[in-house]
Amino acid sequence: MTTEPHLFQPLTLRGVTTRNRVVISPMCQYSAHDGHMEDWHLAHLGRFAMGGAGIIFTEATAVQKRGRITHGCPGLWTDSQIPGHARIAQFALRNGAIPAIQLGHAGRKGGMQRPWFGNGPLDDADIARGDMPWTPVGPSAVPVAEGWPEPHAMTKADIDALLDDYASATARALAAGYKIAEIHGAHGYLVHSFLSPLSNQRTDEYGGDLSGRMRLALEIAQKVRAVWPDDLPLFFRTSAVDGHPDGWSLEDTVVLARELNRIGVDVMDCSSSGIAGSATSSKGQKRQPGFQVGYAERVRKDADMTTMAVGLITHPQQAENILAEGSADLIAIGREALVDPNWALHAARDLGHDTMFETWPEQSGWWLAGRQKTSEFYVPKGDDDS
């Protein structure tokens, strides 16, 4: 008897069942206008739904206007932003994928350059283009790095307003039709900056020891969970380690995961680093295939929590092995999906899950199945000019 590949076994999270374990990771496009999603986003994310992914995440979406990473980042701080999100969510659902949204706040990294303009703090050239700077916020008045603006240390009133804005953005995400929400607690953005002792120098209830530094993350999760329906899953993206001996550790992540799980977070999305410099900075770590999988495995086992692995997972058999070995429950694909938006469909064929294009959209699958029936053998992608 043939065993179904782990990658193509459905997964049920609360009242949501995915068609497979392939997740498209949030990938910033820096192409929104005043926080509104545009046609670019529909085409960018829609191709992954057509490409067979099980869950598709919209990029980091700001809960406050000043919470954007760049002027090109989307938001859900006002009702006028709901329709752009709704187009994407409905397209994903109509094509068999689960639409998901990542809610976040850039914190100390708010108001930076789009990557193709430098990926650093805004400068005179950006201002000349109309990208005006704003004062970023953080747990303490500690800049991201030398040459970056000093953030405003958030007051208790600022934190209370932030919590209310997370709740409001969550309600708008629900109205847009998303079925999964994720709190962005990684990569040096606001929540992560409260968690890490490298950036949090507060002496009040939101700083100091581990419980104090975790307070904001847990309060946000409680606010979001109170709005997000009981039958819909909630994820949390973490930087499992800072990559610095005095920073946030994997042991801290396990403690946080247990507390998040207790208050209703269903999946820990395990990334790493980014507390200083760009979000993709991985100082102290060697970037190699699957270099973050161990974090997902540790949280899954020690916190008894469903996890998602991400980071240089590029090949179907590699993804299948991660699941088969019990290291994670979901596989997040990022840049490899940009190379091949049909990654999930091709993985299904590579792993023997699909032999006659059954999992492909009907609009294209019947064409390809017909060609295969009239061919002596299947012509691998890239070797056929028809």
How far is Cα 269 from Cα 299, in angstroms, rounded to an integer? Answer: 10
189 is annotated as an active-site residue: yes
Integer Cα distance of 185 and 193 in angstroms? 9
Q: Encoding tokens for residue 210?
A: 């581990």
CA distance 283 to 273: 7
Say if CB 36 and CB 84 are below 8 A apart.
yes
From the list 166, 189, 206, 295, the catalytic residue is 189
The CA distance from 7 to 359, in Å, is 14
**Sequence-ordered list of residues with C-beta below 8 angstroms from that of 124, at least 6 positions apart, any chain:** none
Active site residues: 189
